[in-house]
Amino acid sequence: MIVTLTANPSLDRTATLAGPLVRGGVNRIVSVGVEAGGKGVNVARVVTLAGEEALAVLPARPDDPLLAALDTLRVTYRAVAVPALVRTNLAVTEPDGTTTKINEPGTELGSEELAALARRVLTASDEDGWVVLSGSLPPGVPASWYAELVVQVRAAGARVAVDTSDAPLRALAAAFPRSAPDLLKPNSEELAQLTGTDPAALEASAAAGDLGPSVGAARGLLDAGVGAVLATLGAAGALLVTADGAWSAAPPPIVPRSTVGAGDSALAGYLLAATSGADAPGRLRHAVAYGSAATSLPGTSLPRPDQLDVDRVRVQHVD
């Protein structure tokens, strides 16, 4: 089973514009969609759509519309009760797929709520499954919380994947190798945060076909104890670096419509392939297929297996 923890869940409202976003002007909306969101929730949704077992752990009031949305989506969850409703995030998507996100800070969590969330995660995790710690941390949560959870989850025998940024990501890295996860999923900006490199330079070199700087940065994380690095590089595809080697994957041709949930879908695709026994190139291929499929869908839609184009994802070994 794949267990996801979303400490800062949300209702994601996506507004699709008729034309490019005009800052300070009047913008016409073509459509608006509202979905259960948060990075871990998105991973659980994709896994559920694939017909596999997922459990989303999150803080939410019993009458929160987020839980009703998860019920509609048939996503299994375990919620820790909190006083306030979850935050609402806004994404504005332009016709070319450019997405602007405006996120609320979220509901403050205290020590009792954090302890209850950790208990639910540890109780649900098993030696054959994965635990995903994903997304931002809400107010009141120490930046080191993910680092502490990695240690607890690994002690319980489960594999753990982490997808976060900024202060929680830096705190995680500061505690390596003790807090090093089995899988780390940074984008190019987060990979730069971890290694002290220039994110613009990483992106530019990857776009030009030079993956050397990104591979070097990822191998530095492996040297610090991380099991594998799945780095999503936008239009350049993705990179997987393990102790056995490095592979890159180029996405199939798509018409981009929204990047909401693309990284979460890529992580879900990797984990689905990993739990089915796929090798490293196969895991990377499915990650890119899922991420690309998400980008080709409107608003907050997430991909089903029948919407993938796995065979057209080009994977190659990187020296």
List the CATH number of the domain containing 159.
3.40.1190.20
- pTM of the predicted protein model: 0.92
Identity at 250, one-letter amino acid code: A
Dihedral angle, C-alpha 110, 114, 115, 118, nearest 10 ° = 180
Cα–Cα distance measured from residue 201 to residue 172, given in angstroms and rounded to the nearest whole number: 24
Q: For 144-176, what is each residue's pLDDT tens digit?
A: 999 999 999 999 999 999 999 999 999 999 999
Residues identified as active-site: 264
Surface-to-core class of residue 68, CB atoms within 10 Å of its CB (0-12 exposed, 13-18 middle, 19+ buried) = exposed
Residue 170 Cα distances to 105, 161, 166, 186, angstroms: 19, 16, 6, 12
Q: For 79-130, what is each residue's pLDDT tens digit?
A: 999 999 999 999 898 998 888 989 999 989 999 999 999 999 999 998 779 9
Intervals of the chain under pLDDT 50: none
> Which residues lie closer than 8 Å to 91 by C-beta, 6 or more apart?
12, 13, 14, 15, 99, 100, 101, 102, 258, 260, 299, 300
Range of the domain at 129: 2-318
Q: For the chain, how many structural domains are there in total? A: 1
